[in-house]
Structure 1
Amino acid sequence: MANKYDENNIKSLSSLEHIRLRPGMYIGRLGNGSHVDDGIYILLKEVIDNSIDEFIMGAGSRINVTVLDNKVSVRDFGRGIPLGKIVECVSVINTGAKYDSEAFQFSVGLNGVGTKAVNALSSYFTVTSYRDGEYATATFEKGVQVGRVKKGSTTEPNGTFVSFIPDPELFIDYKYNEEFIKERLWNYAYLNTGLTIEFNKRIIKSQHGLMDLLDKNVGSEGLYPIIYYKGQRLEFAFTHTANYGESYYSYVNGQHTSDGGTHLSAFKEGLLKGINEYYKKTWNAPEIRDGICGAISVKVQDPIFESQTKNKLGNTEIRSWIVNEVKEAVIDALMKNSDTATALSNKIANNERIHKEESAVRNGAREMAKKVSINIPKLKECRYHLNSYPKAHEKEALNSMIFLTEGDSAAGTINKTRDVQTQAVFALRGKPFNVFGRSRKAIYENQELYNIMVALGLENGDLDNLRYSKVVIATDADVDGYHIRNLLMTYFITFFEDLVTSGRVFILDTPLFRVRNKKVTVYCYSEKEKDAALEQIKSPEVTRFKGLGEISPSEFGQFIGEDIKLIPVTIDSMTQVRQKMEFYMGNNTPERREYIMENLR
C-alpha cells in the first residue's frame, strides 16, 4: 500500500531551515576536518573570500586570521559592510553587493549565499562592521539573531570583523588542521600580490605571485628561469622540468579550478602558438608541453562554472583574447632572453626524441591491448564516468571513483559491496613495478601499468580524458600494503603528476579494529580509538583486521558508502617529494637499510 501523499506533505522551509537541513547543497561535505575539502574549511573560505574581494577592489591590503580552539576570526581592512545592512548581508539569502558590478567587478561568490551559510551552520556567529568612525555589531546562534544590533563610535580603521564557531551538532568531533589552512592562505597570497595575511601571528605574503607558487613546487628542477607574465586580467607562469607529463595550477577570480576549463585550454593553445611562431616550427602539443609545470590565473566578470563545485570554468567568450595574450607574451619573453629560448628548444627536441623512441613500444602495447579489448583484466567497471555522462547524471560522474586494490581477495570484498553506478575496482597482481628513474617506456613494457593507464584514461598524458573523479588506493594496513601505496604513488608522480596535484588521488581509510559485545559494535581506526572503546564497552571482543579481504562484505559496505573515509594525497612541494622518492624508491639500498636499522622499533 502506498504511503499517504496529499497537501499536508508539502512543506516550505525558510532559507535558514533549508541550509541547516541540507548543508551539503551549500558547502559540500560536512566531515570532521581531516579532509582539506571538509565543510569547516569551506566556512572559513566563504568569509575570507569576502575580504579578498575587498582587496581586489583596492580596499584593504591586510587580513588577520585566527583559529583557536575551533573558534575562527577574520578581520579585514576593506570598506566594511554598510552599517544599515549588516544583519541582511549575513542572514538574508540572495542579499549582497556582488550583484552590483560597480561595487564588485571580479568575484567568485555571485549568488549571495556564502556568509549566510556560515551563519546558519555556526553555533555562534558575530559580525562587526567599521565605517568612518562608526561601528555596528550583530550576533547570531545557529543563524538566529540574538539581541539587537549594537552601534556606536569607534577609532578602529574601516573594515569587517567576523567570528564564528562551526556548530558541533552538524560537524561531529571536528578539528581544524592548521596545515590545510596555511596551504589555502598561501594560495590567496600567490593570487593577490601585495596582500598580507596574518595567520595565528605568522605572516603569509607573496611578492611575485604565480612565480612564487611555481618556484615553491619546482625549485631547482626548472630547466630554465620561470617565464612570468602579469596583465590586467591574466597572469601566468611556466617552466619545464626533466619530468614527464604536464602539471598546471589554474584559478578564476581566486577560485582553484582543479579541472581547468576554457581558460586553461586557451592558455595551452596560446603557448603552442607562441612557441611555434617564435621558433618557426610546427611542433605538436605533446612535444611542447611534456614536462611543463604552469600556473594561470584569470579574472572574469561573470564566471560560469560547469558544476556546483566550481572546479571547471565554462565561459567560451574568453578563449580568443587569452590565446592571443598568452601567445604574444610568450614570444616577447623568448625574444628578450636567448638563454631561456635555447633551453626551451633543447627540451622540446629531447621530447621529440623520447616520443619517437616510445612510439614503437607504444604501438606494440596497443596491439597487445586490442586482444583484451576494453575488457581490461581485473577491472570491474562502473556505469558513470567523469569524461562521459548525460547532463542528468552529473552528480554520479563527479562521485565516480576507482579502487586500486591488492589481490583478488580485497577486490572481491569491495566488488560485492560497491555502488556499481559510480565505483569501479581494479585488482592489482601483487606489487607493481617500481618505475623510479625509468623512462615512460616502462609503462608500455609492463602490462599492468599499461592497463592502469588505459583504465584511468591517461593515455594522452593529461587529464582531459580522465574517466574517474577519484583514484582511490585501497591496500591493507600492513608493510606490504604500504609498499604498494608507495609504488603506486611513485608511478603517478613520475608519469602523471597532474593527477596528484589536482587532488584526484586518495587513500581509503578502513578500520584497524572491531571492538564489540552482544549489544554494541565499534569500529576503530587507530590504537587510541580502540583504547577508548575498550573503556566504554563491557566484556569486549577485539578483532584486528590485517587486510581488506578479512572484513566481511556485510560489514565492508558501510566503509565505502556515504560515510567513506578518504585521505587526500596532498603535496606541499613537488621538489621535496622527489627528494623523498629518491631516498625511498631509488638505488640507494645501503642508505635505506642503515636508516631502517636506526629507526627500527
Structure 2
Amino acid sequence: MSNDITNEPQSQGAVQPTVDYTDDNIRHLSDMEHVRTRPGMYIGRLGDGSLPEDGIYVLLKEVIDNSIDEFKMKAGDRIEVDIDDNLRVAVRDYGRGIPQGKLVEAVSVLNTGGKYDSKAFKKSVGLNGVGVKAVNALSTRFEVKSFREGKVRSLVFERGKLVSDQTEASNDENGTYIYFEPDNTLFKNYLFHGEFVETMLRNYTYLNSGLTIMYNGRRIKSRNGLEDLLVDAMTTDPLYPIVHIKGEDIEIAFTHTNQYGEEYHSFVNGQHTTQGGTHQSAFKEHIAKTIKEFYDKSYEYTDIRNGIVAAIAINVEEPVFESQTKIKLGSTLMEPGGETINKYVGDFLKREVDNYLHIHKEDVADVLENKIKESERERKAMAGVTKLARERAKKANLHNRKLRDCRIHYCDAKDNRKEESCIFITEGDSASGSITKSRDVNTQAVFSLRGKPLNSFGLTKKVVYENEEFNLLQAALDIEDGLDNLRYNKVIVATDADVDGMHIRLLIITFFLQFYPELIKKGHVYVLQTPLFRVRNRRTKVKNKSMVADYDSRMGKGEKKSDFITRYCYSDEERVTAIRELGPDPEITRFKGLGEISPDEFAHFIGVDMRLEQVTLHKNDQVQKLLEYYMGKNTMERQNFIIDNLVIEEDIPEEE
C-alpha cells in the first residue's frame, strides 16, 4: 500500500481552497431575479411543451387558478383563454379584479397576495403568493389589467421588470386580464399543445359546475361534474351506472369496468392532484371498507377495487401540497385544528355510499358484487403461480441481468430529480448495450427484452405471473399493486424503426393496455424516436456556415470537433433538408437498428434533446376493437387489409 498520504507534512493535511471566498461572493437576488435563476423551485421542469408536465402549462395553470378562485367566491362565471400561434397566452376573467392600489406588488413581489386571509379565499389553491409572480418573471412580456369600479390599471413587464404603468377610465366589466409570452431563452422552442390545454380546462369545468371557459372561441362546460369526467375518461363501458354523490366540500363518482387495476382522478380546491395524496389514499381505503361492510363478507380489498374507475374532489382550507406545482396533497386536516381528511372522507363514504347501495340494489349493488366475485375467483385461481412468480422476481431482483437500474426513482418522495427517472425497454442485448453505455446512470434505467414478447391480448392476468419476462418487467416497475410505488416516471419503449421493432412495440403496449391501462392513462408510457438517417459532410464542403457554428455551439462537454458536420434525421423530410444544407455529395447512413448506433452517438438521442412520443388513450379510441383487430385471431381479415393497402417503398436515393 502506498505511503504517499501518510508521509505528507501535517500542514498539508487539509485540502486548500482553489477559489477565494470573500464578501463579494455574497449576493442578494431580487424576487424576479431569484425566480429566473432558480425556475425549478417555482414551476418544476422547463421543457418545450411536448409533455403535459412542462413548465409552460404550469404558467398557464397559475394564471387560471386565480380566476377559478374568483369563481369559487361567486365572482364571475366565465373565463376566456386565448392562445395565439401556440405561443402567446391571454386570460380574461370577470371576477372582482385585483385591487389596483396593490397591483404591482400582487404580480411582482413574492409572498404577496390576498389569500392569506381565509375570509377572502376560504378554499383556495394558490395560498403562497408565488404563482403569477413566477409567470411574470419567466415571460419576455407580461401584461396585467385590473378592471374595477370604472377604471383600468394596466402594467407591462419584460422578464419581471416593470416598463409601463397606466390608469384610465373604462366601461369594461370588472375582472382581470393577463397576457404572457414565455421566455424562449428558458423554454427553448416551446409550443402550447392544444390537447394538453384542453384537458386542463376540461378538468376545471368538471370541478366547477356552472363555469364556462371559452378556449380560442370554443365553449367548454360541464353539467354533471365528476360524472362527466368519468364518462370522458373511460375507454371501456361501465358495468353499472356511475355512482355520483355530492356533499359539503366533497364530491365523488365511481363505477367498475372489466379493465384490470384501479384508476383514480383526484382534486383539491379545483387543482388536479395527478400524484394523489392524503385525500386519494383515504378514498381508496374507505371505499373498499364501506363496500365490504355493506356485503358483510370477507372480500379482499384488492378484489373490491379491481376494475374501479373513480374520482374524488374535496375542498380544504389552507391546503398543504408537497411542491409548488401542487400535484400531491400533503395536508392531513380539512382545516387548521379541524377534522382529519381521512375521517371526513371515511364518514362521508360510509354514510352516503352505504345508503346508495341499499337504494340501488339491483342495478348497482348486485352487479358490483358479481364483479367482486369474478375478481376473487381469478385471484384464487392464480394464487399458486403468483406466489412462485413473486419469489422468482425477488431472487431475480438481487441480480437481474435484464434490468440495469438507475439511482433515482419516481417513488423517491423527496428527490427533486424524481420526475426525470425513466426506464428504456429495449429489444436484444446490442440495443440495450448502446443505451446502457450512454445513459445517465442517475435517472435512466434499461430493461432488455429477449426477442418478441408474448401477445397478451385476450389472456387473463395469470400470464403476467406465468411469463417470466412480463413478471420481471412488472417487478422492475413495481406496479403489481397499482401506481403508488411506480419506480420510473417515464416508461420508454425503445425498439428498432423496422417491422419487427414496430411489432415488439405493439406487443408491449398491448401488455400495458390489457393489465395496466392506468400507466398509459396517467401519461407514463412513451415511444423513443431514434434517427433513421445520419447525413454528414466535410466542413470544407458545407454551404450553410451558420448551421456549422450552431452545431459547434451545441456540442457536448468534452467532445472534439471532427472534420465532419453531422445531422441526424428522423424522417425523409429532415433527410432532404440536411442534404440541401450539407451538400455537395454528403455521406448518408441508413440506421437499420438501434444496435448499429454507437454509444457516443446514442448519447445525443437520450439526452436533453431526446425525442419522445407519448402513448395516449382516449374514450373515442375504441381500444378493445383496435386491439381485437390488430392483436386478435382474425388473421385473414388483417391479411386482406395489408394486401389491399400495401405500398412498395422505393429505394432511397443518396443524393437529391
Smaller-chain TM-score bracket: over 0.9
CA shift for structure 1 position 303 = 2.0
- Over 3 Å counting, the alpha-carbon distance change for 1:166 and 1:440 in structure 2 is same
2:500 to 457, 480, 490: 480
CA shift for structure 1 position 143 = 1.9
> Over residues 226-253 of structure 1, what are the superposed CA-to-partner deviations in whole Å (9 max), with x where a residue is unaligned?
0111112111111111121111111222
Contact 1:35/1:567 (8 A) holds in 2 = no
Between 1:567-576 and 1:119-128, the stretch displaced more is 567-576
Equivalent AA in structure 1 for residue 579 of structure 2: L
CA shift for structure 1 position 308 = 4.7
> Over residues 475-523 of structure 1, what are the superposed CA-to-partner deviations in whole Å (9 max), with x where a residue is unaligned?
2222222222221111112111222222222222333333333443333
Equivalent AA in structure 2 for residue 338 of structure 1: K
CA shift for structure 1 position 568 = 2.7
Per the alignment, residue 619 of structure 2 pairs with 573
1: CA distance, partners of 2:537 / 2:307 = 56
Per the alignment, residue 203 of structure 1 pairs with 219
1:120 to 137, 141, 147: 137
Per the alignment, residue 511 of structure 1 pairs with 531
Equivalent AA in structure 2 for residue 453 of structure 1: Q
Contact 2:236/2:258 (8 A) holds in 1 = no
2: CA distance, partners of 1:230 / 1:297 = 9
Per the alignment, residue 84 of structure 2 pairs with 68
Matches within 5 A, 1:198-597: 198-218=214-234, 221-317=237-333, 318-339=341-362, 340-369=364-393, 372=396, 374-387=398-411, 391=414, 394-460=415-481, 462-519=482-539, 520-539=565-584, 540-573=586-619, 576-597=622-643
Q: Confirm or deny that 1:98 pairs with 2:115.
A: yes
Per the alignment, residue 2 of structure 1 pairs with 18
Contact 2:96/2:148 (8 A) holds in 1 = yes
Contact 1:246/1:498 (8 A) holds in 2 = yes
2: CA distance, partners of 1:245 / 1:332 = 26
1: CA distance, partners of 2:304 / 2:131 = 41
1: CA distance, partners of 2:430 / 2:377 = 43
C-alpha RMSD of the superposition: 2.1
Per the alignment, residue 42 of structure 2 pairs with 26
Equivalent AA in structure 2 for residue 580 of structure 1: L
CA shift for structure 1 position 75 = 0.9
- Over 3 Å counting, the alpha-carbon distance change for 1:591 and 1:77 in structure 2 is farther
- Over 3 Å counting, the alpha-carbon distance change for 1:116 and 1:57 in structure 2 is same
Equivalent AA in structure 1 for residue 402 of structure 2: K
CA shift for structure 1 position 369 = 4.1
CA shift for structure 1 position 368 = 4.2
2: CA distance, partners of 1:95 / 1:527 = 52
2: CA distance, partners of 1:485 / 1:66 = 37
Contact 1:71/1:163 (8 A) holds in 2 = yes
- Over 3 Å counting, the alpha-carbon distance change for 1:52 and 1:591 in structure 2 is farther
Between 1:295-304 and 1:379-388, the stretch displaced more is 379-388
1: CA distance, partners of 2:646 / 2:112 = 60
Contact 1:36/1:568 (8 A) holds in 2 = no
Sequence identity (%): 53
- Over 3 Å counting, the alpha-carbon distance change for 1:546 and 1:309 in structure 2 is farther
Task: State the secondary structure of the residue aligned to 1:221.
Answer: coil
1: CA distance, partners of 2:50 / 2:396 = 40
Contact 2:42/2:324 (8 A) holds in 1 = no
Equivalent AA in structure 1 for residue 375 of structure 2: N
Equivalent AA in structure 1 for residue 473 of structure 2: I
2: CA distance, partners of 1:296 / 1:575 = 25
Larger radius of gyration: 2
Contact 1:221/1:575 (8 A) holds in 2 = no
2: CA distance, partners of 1:396 / 1:43 = 20
- Over 3 Å counting, the alpha-carbon distance change for 1:515 and 1:32 in structure 2 is farther
- Over 3 Å counting, the alpha-carbon distance change for 1:386 and 1:176 in structure 2 is closer
1: CA distance, partners of 2:592 / 2:441 = 26
1: CA distance, partners of 2:438 / 2:426 = 14
- Over 3 Å counting, the alpha-carbon distance change for 1:578 and 1:104 in structure 2 is farther
Per the alignment, residue 130 of structure 1 pairs with 147
2: CA distance, partners of 1:524 / 1:113 = 41
User: If the length of structure 1 is used for normalisation, what is the TM-score?
Assistant: 0.94
Contact 1:218/1:574 (8 A) holds in 2 = no
> Over residues 262-314 of structure 1, what are the superposed CA-to-partner deviations in whole Å (9 max), with x where a residue is unaligned?
11111012112211222122311111001111111121222222345433222
Task: State the secondary structure of the residue aligned to 2:624.
Answer: helix
1: CA distance, partners of 2:169 / 2:357 = 57
Equivalent AA in structure 2 for residue 225 of structure 1: P
> Over residues 540-579 of structure 1, what are the superposed CA-to-partner deviations in whole Å (9 max), with x where a residue is unaligned?
3333333222221112223323443333323232763333
Equivalent AA in structure 1 for residue 197 of structure 2: I
Equivalent AA in structure 2 for residue 523 of structure 1: Y
- Over 3 Å counting, the alpha-carbon distance change for 1:219 and 1:444 in structure 2 is closer
2: CA distance, partners of 1:18 / 1:521 = 38
> Over residues 371-406 of structure 1, what are the superposed CA-to-partner deviations in whole Å (9 max), with x where a residue is unaligned?
6453233111223333457x5xx1244432221111
1: CA distance, partners of 2:575 / 2:107 = 42
Equivalent AA in structure 1 for residue 616 of structure 2: T
Structure 2 portions without partners, runs of 5+: 1-16, 334-340, 540-564, 648-656
Equivalent AA in structure 2 for residue 536 of structure 1: E
Contact 2:43/2:324 (8 A) holds in 1 = no
1: CA distance, partners of 2:38 / 2:194 = 27
Task: State the secondary structure of the residue aligned to 1:596.
Answer: helix
Equivalent AA in structure 2 for residue 572 of structure 1: H
Contact 2:260/2:306 (8 A) holds in 1 = yes
Task: State the secondary structure of the residue aligned to 1:93.
Answer: coil
- Over 3 Å counting, the alpha-carbon distance change for 1:88 and 1:511 in structure 2 is farther
CA shift for structure 1 position 21 = 2.9
2: CA distance, partners of 1:536 / 1:170 = 27
User: If the length of structure 2 is used for normalisation, what is the TM-score?
Assistant: 0.86
Aligned residues: 596
1: CA distance, partners of 2:395 / 2:26 = 56
- Over 3 Å counting, the alpha-carbon distance change for 1:497 and 1:206 in structure 2 is same
1: CA distance, partners of 2:640 / 2:117 = 64
Contact 2:70/2:96 (8 A) holds in 1 = yes
CA shift for structure 1 position 597 = 3.4
Contact 1:129/1:158 (8 A) holds in 2 = yes
Contact 1:258/1:503 (8 A) holds in 2 = no
Contact 2:262/2:518 (8 A) holds in 1 = yes
2: CA distance, partners of 1:270 / 1:370 = 31
